[in-house]
Structure 1
Amino acid sequence: MSIQKRIQKKGKALTTLALATTLAVSALIPVHAEVADTTVNWTREQVSKIELNKDNTLPYTDVSKLEKFTEDYHVWDSWPLTDRDGNIASIKGWKVLFALSAPNNVLPGKVHDIATIRYFYSKNGKDWTLGGTLFPEGASLGSREWAGSAMMDDGKIHAFYTATGHRGQEHLTFEQRLAMATGDIVADSKGVRFENWGDHKIILEPDGKYYQTREQAQQGEGGGYAFRDPMWFKDPKTDKEYILFEGNSGGAVGDRTFKQEYAGSIEYTSKNPVPAGAVHANGNIGIAEVVDGDPSNLKMLPPLLEANYVNEELERPHIVVKDNKYYLFTDTHINKYAEGLQGPEGLYGFVSDTLFGGYEPLNESGLVLANPPENPYQAYSWLVLPNLSVVGFAHFGDIGDMSIGDIGHQPDEFQFEHFGGTLPPTVKLSIKGDTTKIGKEYSPGWIK
C-alpha cells in the first residue's frame, strides 16, 4: 500500500493559492522579513518529495515484546549526559541517560500531564539501572518537566529542561519556558547521583517576534504552540556555545503573510496551490547564544529554520557536526503537517556548511528515518548521537488503521497493551554528504 494510503491526511481538500494570497494581503505585518537572509525555509515543494524506501524505513518492531526499561515507569523522550563539547560523558566509567517518565499505571495519553525526569546509569551503555528522579520533589519550576538536555563540566551537571505549566496551578496549563539548574555529580562503585542543586532558573521565554507566545497562539483557530526541548550545542569550529529549541514563528495567525519561499518554486505552486488552512502551520527551530560561558545567560537569535505553511511542530532539534558540515535534526508527527501535505512519523534532517544559513534537506525531502507503513507509530522522539547512533522511544504498535487520535478512545486495556513506554532498538545512521541510510539495529537503548 502507498504512503498516501498509509498516512492520515490532515485537513480538508486543497483550495486555491489565490485564496491564500487574498488572506495574506489582509495581514497586518509580515513575519521575520528582516531575518530572511539567515533563517532557512523547509518548503512544501521539498516535503512533496517524501518517499519511503529501504534507506529511510525502519524495520518492523513488535512493541509488545520489548523489555520494559524499568518495571515501574513508562519512559519516553531520552537523552544522555554529555560533556561541554557534546561528547557522551563518562563519570568513573558510568554513562548516564535521562528520560521523561510516569508511573506505569497511568494511561499513555495522560503521561505528559505528570511527566518527571528520571535518570539511569550504566557501565556498558546497555544494562541500565534506575537512579531515581533527577531533581528533588517539588524543585523544578513547572507543574511537569518536559524534555531537555544535560551537560557536565568540572564535576557539575547543568540540566536543561522544559518547565511546562506552573506549580500549584488548579487547572493544567501549557505555558512552556526553557529552564535549568546546576548540581554536583557524585559517582562511586555503586553508581551515580546528583546533589546540592542550586536554584532553578527560567533561562528563555518566547519573545513574540521570532518565537510565538502562548497568547499569540491562542488568537485564531488551529495551529500549535511550542517553546521547549532545550538542547546544548558547542560549535567545534568557533567554540561558541548555544541552546537549540523548538518554537513557532512569532505573531498571531491573523498577522501571518504568505511568501513564495514557504512553498518553493512558482512552477510547483502553479500545479499545487497552497490551501488557506496551511497558514496555521508555523513550526521553527530556535537558537540562543550562551553569553560569557554562563549557560543561564542566553542571547536569543533568529531561528535556524522555519516551516511556515509546512509543519507546526519541529521537536527536539539537535546538531551533529560531521566532515566539517552541520547536520540539523528534528522530529515530527504525521498529523503536524500543514493542510495539503503529508509525511510519516519520522526523523528529519538538514545539512549546511555553516551553523547559520544554508541548510538544505537531507535526501532532498528532509526525511531521514520513518516507521514502516504497517506500523506507523511504533517509535518516536529520535535523537542522533555524536557517533550517529539513533535512540528513540517505543510508542504505539500494531493498531491497524487507527490514527494516533483514535487510541485514546479505546478501552484502557487496549491502550496499555499497544503502548511501548520503553526504548526501541538503537539504529545506526550513515551519512554521506546530503544523503543518509539506516544501518544495523542494536539492543534497545544502547548508548554506544
Structure 2
Amino acid sequence: MSDPSRDTAAWTRDHAAGLSRTDRNTAPIIYPPDRRTDPDNHLWDTWLLRTPAGEIADVDGYRVVVALTASNDLLPGKRHDVATHRFYYSTDGRNWTPGGCVFGDSVPLGSRQWAGSAIYDPETGDVSLYYTAAGHRGEDALSYTQRLAVAHGGSARTTADGVRFEGPWTHKTLARPDGEWYEREEQSRGMIYTFRDPWYFEDPETDEAYLLFEGNTPIPEGSKACGGDPEQQAFNGSVGIARASKTDPTACELLPPLVDAVCVNQELERPHVVYRDGTYYLFVASHRHTFAPGIDGYDALYGFAADALFGPYEPLNGSGLVLTNPANAPFQAYSWLAYGHCEEILVTSFLNYLDYDRPSLDDVAYLPEDEQFRRFGGTLAPTVRLGVDGLDTRVRGTLDHGHLPTAEEALPETEDERIARLRGADGDEERPGYGAR
C-alpha cells in the first residue's frame, strides 16, 4: 500500500506570475455547431463512462457520457441550482443521443447533484457513479453544503434502441471535510466554498484505488500565510485525495492534499489524472475571478506533473497554464476534461458564453434575458488536441464538437503535420502555432 506521507505540493504566486496566453496554450475561436448535443437541455460539466482502469467504456458498441444538465427554458445562470445527471450515448463518438436522467426522480442526497465520475465494470455491466451532493433534500432555500457521494448497484444495459441505466441505485455519502486537511463550510472565509468533484482513479503502478476531489485548505486566523494578508488567505484551493476501494464503492479514507494553491487560487475544479509513460499529469479547471489579488489568470485548464501519484507535482509549462480561451472570447469554453490518446492528450469541454468579451461573467446578468439565452452554448465544445513533452504542452489542433475518439481511433492529420509532410526534412516553411480544425 502506498505511503501518502509527504509535503503537499504548492502552486505558488511565483509560478502564477508566469501566466500568459501564447499560441501554445490558446484554443481557436469556437463557432456554434449546427445542432446542440441535447435540444431540450443545457449541458455543461461532462465526463466519460470509464472502466476501472480508466479506459473509455464499451457498452456493447456504445460509448457513454454523463453530464450536468438543466432544462433549456431556464436562464443559463440558474442551471447550477437544479443540476441533474443525464446521459448520452454514441456508436461513433461524434453523434450523441440523449438517454434521459441517470437516476430518475429518486435522489435522496442533496437538493441537486454536481460533477463527479462514472465507472463501468465490463464483466458485469455494473456502474458506480461518484458525484457531489449539494444542499439538502427538500430544503426551502438553497444551501451550498457539499459532500462526496456515490450511487452504486445500478447498471448500464443496451436495448434495440440504445443504452439505458437500470437501478435500483443505493446512494451513500462518502466523505465530508475534516476541518484539518480540508476546510469545513463554517471555516470558510473565501468567495466560494468547495468540497466536490470526486474522480475515481486506479494507480497503474500500485494497483490501488483513490478518489481525487476539489477542496480548500484551512487557514487559521492570524496565520502568516500570504504574508499575513487575510484577503489573499481567502484564496486557498486544493486538490484533495482519498483512499478508495476496488471492491467496495462506499469505502473512503481522507488523505492529505496532493496540491494546494494557498495565496493563488480559491477553486481547483474537477481534478483528474492522465497517466502516460510513468508520469502522472494532474489537471484542474479554474476561473479568472478565483485567482487571488495581484494575479491575472484565465478561465483555463491548468496542469501539474509528477513521477508518482503522491507527487511532488510541478506546474506544467512553468506556470501551470495548459489550455485557455482566446482573448476576444475569454469565456467560450469551460470545465475541460483530459484523457490520453496515443501520443497526445485530448481535452473535451462545454460551450459556455459566445460573442461575449466583457471582463467578468457576472456581467451576463445585466444582459436582456433573450441575449443570455442566445450567447450561452450549453452543448459539447470541439475537442482539443494537446501535444505533451515532459513538462511542456502545446495545442496541436481541434476535432469537431463533441468528437470523443477511443484510443484505437486514428486522428486526422494536423496542419503542422501536413506542412511537415509537404515540405519534407529540408523545408523551412514557417509552422503555425496550432493546427487547423
TM-score bucket of the superposed structures, by smaller chain: 0.7 to 0.9
- Pair 1:53-2:10 in alignment: no
Alignment-derived partner of residue 158 in structure 1: 128
Q: Secondary structure at the match of 1:408?
A: helix
Q: 1:69 to 1:292 in 2, by over 3 A?
A: closer
The answer to whether the aligner puts 1:202 opposite 2:173 as a matched pair is yes
Q: Could you tell me which amino acid in structure 2 is paired with residue 75 of structure 1?
A: L
**2:112 aligned partner:** 144
**Residue 122, structure 1, aligned to residue 90, structure 2:** yes
Name the SS for the 1:358 alignment partner: coil
Hey, what's the Cα distance between the residues in 1 that align with 2:224 and 2:119? 39
Please say if 1:104 is aligned against 2:72: yes
Q: 1:137, CA displacement in angstroms?
A: 0.3
Cα deviation for residue 403 of structure 1 reads 1.6
Q: What is the CA–CA distance in structure 2 between the aligned matches of 1:442 and 1:59, rounded to whole Å?
A: 11
One of 261, 275, 278 as aligned partner of 1:324: 278
Structure 1 residue 66: deviation in Å? 5.5
- Partner residue in 2 for 1:400: 357
Aligned to 1:239: 207
1:259 Cα deviation (Å)? 6.2
Q: Which has the higher contact order (CA 8 A, sep 6+)?
A: 1
Cα deviation, residue 62, structure 1: 2.7
Residues 1:374 and 2:328 aligned together = yes
Q: Which residue of 1 aligns with 2:146?
A: 176
Matched, 1:300 2:267: no
Residues 226 and 233, structure 2, Cα contact 8 Å, conserved in 1: no
Query: CA–CA distance in 2 between the matches of 1:216 and 1:414?
Result: 38
SS in 1 for 2:384: strand
Amino acid paired to 1:258: A
CA contact (8 A) 2:211 2:243 kept: yes
Could you say which residue in structure 2 is the equivalent of 1:443?
Answer: 400
Aligned mates of 1:135, 1:246 — CA distance in 2:
24
Which residue pairs with 1:264 in the alignment? Answer: none
Q: Contact between 1:66 and 1:422, CA under 8 Å: does it hold in 2? A: no
Q: Which amino acid aligns with 1:173?
A: S
Give the alignment partner of residue 431 of structure 1, picking from 374, 380, 388. Answer: 388
In the other structure, the counterpart of 1:86 is 54
Measured after TM superposition, the shift of residue 97 of structure 1 is: 0.6
Task: Pick the aligned partner of 1:257 from 218, 221, 224.
Answer: 224
Report if the CA contact (8 A) 1:275-1:340 is conserved.
no
> Is residue 209–residue 246 contact of structure 2 (8 Å, CA) maintained in 1?
no
Shift of 1:341: 0.7
Please name the residue that 1:230 is paired with: 198
Deviation at 1:302, TM superposition (A): 0.2
The CA deviation string for residues 150-204 of structure 1, in whole angstroms up to 9 with x for no partner, is 0012320001111000110011101011111111221134211111223200011
Alpha carbons of 1:51 and 1:292: their partners in 2 closer, same or farther (altered >3 Å)?
closer
What TM-score do the two structures reach when normalised by structure 1? 0.86
Taking a change above 3 Å as real, the CA distance of residues 292 and 419 of structure 1, as seen in their structure-2 partners, is closer
1:62 maps to 2:31: yes
* Alpha-carbon offset, residue 255 of structure 1: 5.3
Query: Which residue of 1 is the match for residue 378 of structure 2?
Result: 421
Q: How far does the alpha carbon of each residue in 1:396-426 deviate from its partner, in whole angstroms, 9 at most, with x for none?
A: 1122334211111221011011111111111
Contact 2:325 2:331 in 1 (8 A): yes
Distance in 2 between residues matched to 1:259 and 1:398, nearest whole Å: 37
Letter in 1 for 2:15: Q
Q: For 1:66 and 1:56, locate their aligned partners in 2 and report how far apart those are by CA, in whole Å.
A: 26
Q: 1:175-234, CA deviations, whole angstroms, 9 ceiling, x for partnerless residues? A: 0111111112211342111112232000111111111111111xx4x4321011111101
Kept in 2: contact 1:223–1:282 (CA 8 A): no
Preserved contact between residue 118 and residue 128 of structure 2 (Cα < 8 Å): yes
Mapped to 1, the partners of 2:219 and 2:134 lie a distance apart of: 21
Where does residue 304 of structure 2 map in the other structure?
Answer: 350
Kindly tell me: are residues 428 and 255 of structure 1, through their superposed partners in 2, closer, same or farther at Cα, counting changes over 3 Å? same
Q: Distance in 2 between matches of 1:380 and 1:66?
A: 20
CA contact (8 A) 1:397 1:420 kept: yes
More displaced 10-residue stretch of structure 1: 368-377 or 190-199: 190-199
DSSP-derived class of the 1:304 partner: strand
> Structure 2 stretches of 5 or more lacking a match?
406-437
Distance 2:73 2:367 in 1: 16
Q: Contact (CA 8 Å) 1:390, 1:428: kept in 2 or not?
A: yes
> What secondary structure sits across from 1:287 in the alignment?
strand
CA contact (8 A) 1:66 1:420 kept: no
AA paired with 1:224? I
- Given the alignment, which residue of 43, 66, 74 partners 1:75? 43
1:215 — aligned with what?
A: 186
Q: 1:409 corresponds to which letter in structure 2?
A: Y
1: CA distance, partners of 2:364 / 2:194: 23
* Residue 331 of structure 1, CA deviation: 0.4
**Alpha-carbon separation, structure 2, partners of 1:152 and 1:422:** 24
Q: Is the 8 A contact 1:66 1:424 kept in 2?
A: no
Deviation at 1:288, TM superposition (A): 0.5
Q: Distance in 2 between matches of 1:419 and 1:353?
A: 39
SS in structure 2 opposite 1:297? coil
Change in 2 beyond 3 A, CA 1:380/1:403: same
Given that 2:208 and 2:246 are in contact with CA atoms closer than 8 Å, whether structure 1 keeps it comes out as no
Unpaired segments ≥5 residues, structure 1: 1-34, 261-273
What is the Cα deviation at residue 382 of structure 1? 0.1
SS at 2:194's partner residue?
A: coil
Query: What is the distance in 2 between the residues matched to 1:36 and 1:180?
Result: 26
- 1:208 is paired with a residue whose SS is coil
Counterpart amino acid of residue 307 in structure 1: A
